[in-house]
Structure 1
């Protein structure tokens, strides 16, 4: 049973499938970092099952496996053990090129607990997005954008992790373009992600990323 929605600075309790003590340990006891991880999970995993299906549908098993691997990793990081194990089984099935019906069964098994977990965490994300925007450290933002653009340009899968680590900063700096960057990064459409990132920078005081 889920607890009442938490505020943007309170670690939620009693969310089915989420071991917050485990997740907080993984964040080295840093509550602010853990909350950021929970928000990033809610923002980034909403469409992950659909993205895996789409990748398989177009025959891109490598992308599908990477998506499942990402879900496994971020679920483990926040203490969502059930989702982590289901995503791990899905990733293995994709890598082993199991029959389509077997993969679909695993996708179905993952979908329900993942959707429920994301829904339970969304109040955290909404409260955070609606907070008054803090001043952005422009020097740090420029460094982050340069690094992210480099990773994206090299088709480096680390782009997703780096994006997650800096999601709060990017969301604060580019509120109008953040969702588009997020969607492109998580679907591994890195070329589009670079274009949207550059457009966001051009419309900000950064002007360009170099």
Structure 2
């Protein structure tokens, strides 16, 4: 039922363009939206720091990366704002005003994305089903099974909803890096911290 997976309704997000780029895979698209929030939230601030230090090369690279990320998921206005900043930095002209515009645009996008994703992240089922999801994920990680990432992506909104906002980030970073040992450790820590039961590893 991947193609029926709900997506956040966000002003300024061209979902059909974003979905076309991932061949209609809603699960992957949601993953990209979450990844965007994690990786690009501070992009304008990072570019500002680089510009203040006179490091035009780094600032241009940050704007370029943001332009690509925004474009690939369908934030057209943000993509344009990042492109204008990139060109202004390259020309060493008017970049302060372009940076100010970008900061506003990025702030609005991130706030809307966080709200839309949080809306989706509410658990649809009781705690029992969610505990079973966590147990299955832990079991896949314990045997170093490559399916662990796919399983997590498939059930990400419900797994994330088991924990407070942002608590899953260290776990997800380890999992995205295919570091299953660290990911399992992080998942166990989360389970302990928030009173979820995970079976102990069989030795």
For the aligned pair, the TM-score class normalised by the smaller chain equals 0.5 to 0.7
Question: Hey, what's the Cα distance between the residues in 1 that align with 2:120 and 2:170?
Answer: 17
Deviation at 1:74, TM superposition (A): 0.7
In 1: Cα distance, 2:87 partner to 2:184 partner: 42
Kept in 2: contact 1:65–1:95 (CA 8 A): yes
Q: How does 1:95-106 map to 2 (within 5 A)?
A: 95-96=90-91, 98-99=92-93, 102-106=94-98
* Uncovered stretches (5+) of structure 2, i.e. residues with no partner: 124-129, 150-155, 161-166, 187-203
Q: TM-score, normalised by structure 2?
A: 0.60
| Distance (Å, rounded) in 1 between the aligned partners of 2:169 and 2:8 | 28
CA distance in 1, matches of 2:6, 2:100: 31
**Counterpart in 2 of 1:16?**
11
**2:41 aligned counterpart, secondary structure:** coil
Q: 2:25 aligns with which of 30, 34, 42?
A: 30
After the TM superposition, which residues 33-48 of structure 1 pair with which residues of structure 2 at under 5 Å, given as runs? 33-48=28-43
TM-score normalized by the length of structure 1: 0.58
> Offset of 1:43 from its aligned partner?
2.3
Residues 55 and 63 in structure 1, CA contact (< 8 A), matched pair in contact too: yes
Deviation at 1:18?
1.0
SS at match of 2:185: coil
Q: Does 2:200 match 1:204?
A: no
Q: CA deviation at 1:73?
A: 0.6
Contact 2:33–2:73 (8 Å) recurs in 1? yes
SS in 2 for 1:18: coil
SS of 1:204 mapped into structure 2? helix
Q: Secondary structure in 1 aligned to 2:114?
A: helix
Q: CA deviation at 1:70?
A: 1.1
* CA–CA separation in structure 2 for the residues paired with 1:140 and 1:83: 38
The structure number with the bigger radius of gyration is 2
For each residue in 1:171-198, what CA deviation from the matched residue of structure 2 results, as whole angstroms up to 9, or x when unmatched? Answer: 98x947469x79xxxxxxxxxxxxxxx9
The answer to whether residue 73 in structure 2 is matched with residue 81 in structure 1 is: no
Q: Which has the higher contact order (CA 8 A, sep 6+)?
A: 1
Provide the alpha-carbon RMSD of the alignment: 3.8
